[in-house]
Amino acid sequence: MQLTSEQRLDDGVLVREFTLGEIPGTLWTPASATPAPLILIAHNNGLPKRDARLVARARHAAGRGYAVASIDAAGCGDRPRSAAEEQTRADLRRAMRAGEPVDEILESLVGPLVEKAAPEWRTTLDALLSLPGIGGPVGYSGWTALGIRLAVSEPRIAAAGFFAGGYVPHAQREEARQVTAPVLLLLQWDDEGNPRQRALDLFDTFGTRQKTLHANMGGHTGTPWFEAEDAGRFFDRHLK
């Protein structure tokens, strides 16, 4: 891991940019010198790690005493996308505008993204936990399909917060039965991109008995800010 820049914010949070091979990432650490539990914030492919909403979530968690990290997955942020990925995304946008079925397109897009991203996140986790000031346990927050894969394959993840969940590949829906870590699922009731019933069905599928569903009115980007406080309390219960 190569640290490429660092900045101390007014609230004492230290922000460091890093690269791990070809993987670019950002690490936020709290002002406290005590080894901090780690939360991985993973976004869906296409939302860069510098997105304002993601940065706000990271700073909020760091303010509660957590180390927080995010990386740009392959094809995300400044990392190049293949022509095939661009075509699949264009096909998806066209089908959604036309009100056509999109399951087959999503399977062909999201499934491979998860397969690429999961090993990169495990490599990143190894590197982060070797740094001074960062300790376990580890939490996960964000992209549901990737989070399911990591929660099943990575025993160091002790709690997971998922967003939406309407469109999750078939493989990860099956894997959800194996998730045993505590889960918090956030659902926007009128999410235009994630069918409500599928998210409810996914919640029912999770194998863990420690699972909580929070549903709020509004579209995909309308998650109320108080959910950040509730997510903070969720991670406090399971990581501290």
- Residue 221 falls within a domain, yes or no? yes
- Residue 24 falls within a domain, yes or no? yes
- Residue 13 falls within a domain, yes or no? yes
Q: Which two tokens stand for residue 200?
A: 């409810």
Across residues 218-235, what is the average pLDDT? 90
- Residue 51 falls within a domain, yes or no? yes
Angle at the Cα of 31 from the Cα atoms of 29 and 37, rounded to 5 degrees: 45
**Is it the case that residue 162 has pLDDT exceeding 60?**
yes
- pLDDT at position 194, please? 81
- Residue 227 falls within a domain, yes or no? yes
Handedness of CA 164, 232, 24, 26 (dihedral sign): positive
**Is it the case that residue 45 has pLDDT exceeding 60?**
no
- pLDDT at position 44, please? 64
- pLDDT at position 46, please? 56
- Residue 169 falls within a domain, yes or no? yes
* Lowest mean pLDDT segment, chosen from 18-27, 28-37, 152-161, 169-178: 28-37
Residues 58-113: pLDDT tens digits?
A: 999 999 999 999 998 877 777 887 888 888 888 988 988 888 888 898 888 888 88
CATH of the domain at 159: 3.40.50.1820
Q: Residue 173 carries which DSSP code?
A: H
Are the CB atoms for 27 and 38 separated by under 8 Å? no
* Lowest mean pLDDT segment, chosen from 3-7, 11-15, 33-37, 149-153: 33-37
Q: Which of 180, 193, 190, 179 is nearest to 215 (CA)?
A: 190
Q: Which residue has the higher pLDDT, 17 or 194?
A: 17
Question: Residue 200 belongs to what domain range?
Answer: 2-80+113-239
Length of the chain in terms of residues written: 240
Q: Work out the number of other CB atoms within 10 angstroms of the CB of residue 39.
A: 29
- pLDDT at position 52, please? 78
Q: Which of 172, 182, 238, 170 is nearest to 212 (CA)?
A: 182
- Report percent pLDDT > 70 for the chain: 97
User: Which pLDDT band holds residue 219 (cuts at 50, 70, 90)?
Assistant: confident
- Residue 100 falls within a domain, yes or no? no
- Residue 205 falls within a domain, yes or no? yes
Q: How many domains does the chain have?
A: 1
Q: Which residue has the higher pLDDT, 32 or 125?
A: 125
CA dihedral 6, 28, 116, 137 (to 10 degrees): 140
Are the CB atoms for 72 and 44 separated by under 8 Å? no
Q: Which amino acid is at 220?
A: H
Residues 172-208: pLDDT tens digits?
A: 999 999 999 999 999 989 987 788 899 999 999 999 9
